[in-house]
A and B are shown apart, each in its own frame.
Chain A
Amino acid sequence: DGGITQSPKYLFRKEGQNVTLSCEQNLNHDAMYWYRQDPGQGLRLIYYSQIVNDFQKGDIAEGYSVSREKKESFPLTVTSAQKNPTAFYLCASSIRLSRYSDTQYFGPGTRLTVL
């Protein structure tokens, strides 16, 4: 069953804690993305990766970090430096990162709440 999975579905963080959100895909896609969605808003790009061991900052990378050690996995860490982390986080993948956009396939999302 091909697809993109995210875990956990809900995550609660205390002030000052780092938390890591998981994203895994078995679509054999090269490109992966992390987005943040605030209530009633569109998506904003946090980080993206074109290939293993390479990633680039998106529009709102401050307070976040990522790694891409395997093609299938692109975890996102929300650090204590992110002052307003409560949001819905979406991971996506696409076949490749080329000059023209491809369809992006999204995971089900992780809702992060700061207590």
Chain B
Amino acid sequence: SQQGEEDPQALSIQEGENATMNCSYKTSINNLQWYRQNSGRGLVHLILIRSNEREKHSGRLRVTLDTSKKSSSLLITASRAADTASYFCATDADNAGNMLTFGGGTRLMVKP
């Protein structure tokens, strides 16, 4: 079974709006990562947040982590058409070393 589950599965917004994606997981983790995938391409790493961090920023991206609720959110501010992609969270369970478990992804469409 997947460790991380994204919500919503699909999201459609207008350019300039903010996009929020959520990830829930089941067991204790060391790190949580977010990746982006353009259609038919490989994944690109966006941001890594450690279990002792609560919030992290990178450009227009803001990631939060709530270990008590076993959840994370990815916020993309002032979205652009080029942000259209699938976004995946990946977790490393505390007893699984470096192995990442990926969620099913959120498919984001940003309309110009």
Interface residues of A (CB under 8 A from B): 6, 31, 35, 40-45, 48, 58, 88, 90, 92, 94, 96-109, 111
Which of the residues A41, A107, A111 comes within 8 Å of B40, measured between beta carbons?
A: A111
Contact between chains at A100 and B98 (CB < 8 Å): yes
Bound-complex Cα distance A109 to B33 (A):
20
Main secondary structure of the interface of B (DSSP, over half): strand
Question: Which residues of A have CB within 8 Å of B31?
Answer: 100-101
Question: Which residues of B have CB within 8 Å of A42?
Answer: 2, 4, 88, 102-105
Question: Which residues of A have CB within 8 Å of B45?
Answer: 103-105
Contact between chains at A90 and B100 (CB < 8 Å): no
Interface flags for B79-99 (1: CB within 8 Å of A; 0: not) read 000000000101010000111
Contact between chains at B100 and A106 (CB < 8 Å): no
Question: Which residues of A have CB within 8 Å of B78?
Answer: none
B92 nearest CB neighbor, chain A only: A101
